[in-house]
Amino acid sequence: RYAGHHFLGRVRRDKRHDHVSFTKQGLSLHGWRVRWLFVVYLVVGQAIGTALADQQTGSFGAGTRWETPWTVIEADEPGPTVLIVGGLHGNEPARAQAAEQMRDWPVVRGKLVLLPAVNRLGLAANLRGFPEFQDDPRQRDLKRNFPTRQRADALTPLCQQIWAFLQDHPPT
């Protein structure tokens, strides 16, 4: 009987096994083999990706209350630069958590630039804006503090440092 799709193809269920089959390739695997194959893929893929990538870490505003970590993972093989920014709004912690988890992703081509928790103080206080500028409507929203067509400079020290950093690691 057909029971749906599996991560490797169609799954047919009978009383004894899960079967995965590719009609074009003629591959048929039983459930336990599929699980082991997937585990081997995860372990080997993770090891290869980690071995091929160079990871650098640092922070903006070192020694300040708003010190903000960054990570750059660069593979040996050239490719695009991907920028992931999380935690710009402190009341949206899921994006910061997702960006933090990406630090362990294997990068086999290109560069991954991670700014996982930009508004670290806002995340801790569950505030959308930057707590130090909560009373200043012009500066409290970090997303609106970066240069625009009307304004050539970033408004806050944190955004100024991030903007300067991104000039060295522009997304492509």
Per-residue confidence (pLDDT) for residue 6, from 0 to 100: 42
Sequence letter at residue 52:
L
Q: What SS3 class is residue 67? A: coil
Strand order, beta sheet including 9-13: 2-6, 9-13, 18-22, 27-30
Rounded average pLDDT over 26-44: 47
pLDDT per position as a tens digit, 86-109 = 999 999 999 999 999 999 889 999
Would you say residue 137 has pLDDT above 90? no
d(CA 83, CA 88): 13
Cβ(6)–Cβ(29) below 8 Å: no
pLDDT per position as a tens digit, 140-171 = 899 999 999 999 999 999 999 999 999 999 99
Cβ(125)–Cβ(87) below 8 Å: no
Rounded average pLDDT over 11-37: 46
For the chain, give me the number of helices (H) and strands (E)? 4, 8
pLDDT per position as a tens digit, 66-75 = 999 999 999 9
Mean model confidence pLDDT for the chain: 79
